[in-house]
Amino acid sequence: MKIGHRIRESRDGKRLSQGELARRVGVSQPAISDWENGKTEPSVDNMRTLAVELGVWFEWLATGRGLREYQGLAQEQPMEYRVQPALPEDEQTLQAIYRKLSPARKEALLDFLKRWG
């Protein structure tokens, strides 16, 4: 089974549309479609986010090996792979925008927010 099939199968299992998954990951809907159809593959960062959003192990998503779902193993997972509750929509929007910024703009935005916080 290829990565695109694993993404589609997991997305369908979560009853997420491509658009909803794209919003959660911070990419476009056509990117999800391209991944699922094998036209392109997600970056490592996007695979990590996909794994969290889909509730699957990163290794299984990337390679097809190992355990698939980890919801029942929450205490055994490294913190960075635990499923996090969905962020409120405004925070998801901020996260999606932040991911698209250049490193210099990310730094400037963080400096600005620290002054306001």
Report the domain count for the chain. Answer: 2
- Report CA torsion sign: 104, 105, 111, 114: negative
Q: How many residues does the chain have?
A: 117
Q: Name the average pLDDT for the chain.
A: 84
End-to-end CA separation in angstroms for the chain: 47
Residue labelled with tokens 């036209």: 39
For 14, the domain range is 3-84
Work out the pLDDT band at 72, boundaries 50, 70, 90. Answer: very low
Averaged over 72-88, what is the pLDDT? 52
Residues 38 and 55 in one domain: yes
Residues 15 and 63 in one domain: yes
**Is the pLDDT assigned to residue 56 strictly greater than 50?**
yes
Give the global pTM.
Answer: 0.60
Percent of the chain with pLDDT over 70: 85
Residues 59 and 95 in one domain: no
The pLDDT score that the predictor gives to residue 1 is: 73
